[in-house]
């Protein structure tokens, strides 16, 4: 089966390419720059930007299934950047799939599309999109997700959206390196009472779920036109987990804290300051980040289990052991939680 992966050089994208190859797929990897594809072996490479409809159309030619992983993530930045890449880019993918008669489209969404600043406790897919958005990233991803799900048609293009939460593991260039860097510089603070529980997902499990969802899509399948939360199915205390990661990275644990109301107010002020002064980079705190760090986020993944047989292949403990090896801290024998 011929499969296209957009954002194939990214963290999840590169693991998904390997999972597809191991499952016998003929893979085409789409990356924005030619040198981005250097680490991907045994695949066909195409260069292009999802914002460019013509390059997406060419990449989709002859494909049977498309995994749309490419996106701009983050807590700050201009709406135009997020909308053009995440929303318009996804629309280009959908239209190209239809034009090229691709049969299946699996879209990598985010649980943040349902986040409005409150606790998400054992939340399932019936949760609506919020009325107000705390950041451009989840807003642009929600618009893209809706575009993908609305396009579902058993006779033309079968689609689904997957919402993996806090993807982590060896090779991560964003989440874990940023945590370690901020802790090393003494800039990391616990937000809230430190009791919030969160779901996460080991990157190999996220890649596996994408392949399982694609293979379960057929006319009449409940997967078609549906969105799914994905996780390890093992909620952990966020700050205990962060401290364990920091210990693996051999940097000091988080000991200082800030209340959630104060972090929210600080985020509001810094957002305003950055906007007024048009400062480069992102604020050290935003309202979205404060809420993400202080609230619980864990999900009911029963539908993913029932509809396409998802179960984590790599446990939390095993994933932490592998992460520890890459961070140079040896084996991890402790339970996370």
Whole-model pTM over 0.75: yes
- Closest C-alpha among 82, 104, 101, 84 to residue 92: 84
183-211: pLDDT as tens digits = 998 889 999 999 999 999 999 999 999 99
Instruction: Give the rounded percent of residues in the chain with a pLDDT score beyond 70.
Output: 95
**pLDDT score recorded for residue 275:** 92
pLDDT > 60? residue 336: no
Among 31-40, 272-281, 308-317, top mean pLDDT goes to: 308-317
* Contact in structure between 231 and 311 (CB atoms under 8 Å): no
**Which entry of 25, 137, 228, 298 is annotated as an active-site residue?**
137
Query: 290 in a domain, yes or no?
Result: no
Mean pLDDT score, 254-258 = 93
Half-sphere exposure (Cβ direction) of 66: Cα atoms closer than 13 Å: 32
User: What is the pLDDT at residue 330?
Assistant: 44
Average pLDDT over every residue of 54-60: 96
Q: What is the mean pLDDT of residues 205-226?
A: 97
| CA 173, chain centre distance (Å) | 13
Answer whether residue 26 is part of any domain. yes
Q: Name the pairing type of β-strands 65-68 and 104-108.
A: parallel
Tell me if residue 25 is catalytic.
no
Q: How many CB atoms lie within 10 A of CB 63?
A: 24
Q: Over the stretch 131-186, which tens digit does the pLDDT of each residue have?
A: 999 999 999 999 999 999 999 999 999 999 999 999 999 999 888 998 999 899 88
Domain span at 104: 2-167+200-231+298-313
Q: Is residue 123 part of a domain?
A: yes
Residue 278 burial class via C-beta count within 10 angstroms: exposed 0-12, middle 13-18, buried 19 and up: exposed
Q: How many angstroms separate the CA atoms of 289 and 301, rounded?
A: 24
Q: Residue 167 is encoded by which pair of tokens? A: 């993807």
Q: What is the CATH number of the domain that holds 155?
A: 3.40.50.720
Sign of CA dihedral 129, 132, 135, 141: positive
- Terminal CA-to-CA distance of the chain, rounded, Å? 40
Mean pLDDT estimate for the chain: 93
CA distance 94 to 68: 9
Q: Is residue 239 part of a domain?
A: no
Positive or negative: CA dihedral 253, 256, 257, 263: negative
Q: How confident is the model at residue 312 (pLDDT cuts 50, 70, 90)?
A: very high
Report if residue 130 sits inside a domain.
yes
Percent of the chain exceeding pLDDT 90 equals 89
Does residue 135 lie in a domain region? yes
* Residue 124: inside a domain: yes
> Could you tell me if residue 254 is inside a domain?
no
Structural contact between residues 236 and 200, judged by C-beta atoms closer than 8 angstroms: yes
For the record, the structure tokens of 285 come out as: 């705190």
The residue-averaged pLDDT of 101-124 equals 97
Cα(47)–Cα(59) distance, integer angstroms:
8
Q: How many domains does the chain have?
A: 1
């Amino acid at each position: 089966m011929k499969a296209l992966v957009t954002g194939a050089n990214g963290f999840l994208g590169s693991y998904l390419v390997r999972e597809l190859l191991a499952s016998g797929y003929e893979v085409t990897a789409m990356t924005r720059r030619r040198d981005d594809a250097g680490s991907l072996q045994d695949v066909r490479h195409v260069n292009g930007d999802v914002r460019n409809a013509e390059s997406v159309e060419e990449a989709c030619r002859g494909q049977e299934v498309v995994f749309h992983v490419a996106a701009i993530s983050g807590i700050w930045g201009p709406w135009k950047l997020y909308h053009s890449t995440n929303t318009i880019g996804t629309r280009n993918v959908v239209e190209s799939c239809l034009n090229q008669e691709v049969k299946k489209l699996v879209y990598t969404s985010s649980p943040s599309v349902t986040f409005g600043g409150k606790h998400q406790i054992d939340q399932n897919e019936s949760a609506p999109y919020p009325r107000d958005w705390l950041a451009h990233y989840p807003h642009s991803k929600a618009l893209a997700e809706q575009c993908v799900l609305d396009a579902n048609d058993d006779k033309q293009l079968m689609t689904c959206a997957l919402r993996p939460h806090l993807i982590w593991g060896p090779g991560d260039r964003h989440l874990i390196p940023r945590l370690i860097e901020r802790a090393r510089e003494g800039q990391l603070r616990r937000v809230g009472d430190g009791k919030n529980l969160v779901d996460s997902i080991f990157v190999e499990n996220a890649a596996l779920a994408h392949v399982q969802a694609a293979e379960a899509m057929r006319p009449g399948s409940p997967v078609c036109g549906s969105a799914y939360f994905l996780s390890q199915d093992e909620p952990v205390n966020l700050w205990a987990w962060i401290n364990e990661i920091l210990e693996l990275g051999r940097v000091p644990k988080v000991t200082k804290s800030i209340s959630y109301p104060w972090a929210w107010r600080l985020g509001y002020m810094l957002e305003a300051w950055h906007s007024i002064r048009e400062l480069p980079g992102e604020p050290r705190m935003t309202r979205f980040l404060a809420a993400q760090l202080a609230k619980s986020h864990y999900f009911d993944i029963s539908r993913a289990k029932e509809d396409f047989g998802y179960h984590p292949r790599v446990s939390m403990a095993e994933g932490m052991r592998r992460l520890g090896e890459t961070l140079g801290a040896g084996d991890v024998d402790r339970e996370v939680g």
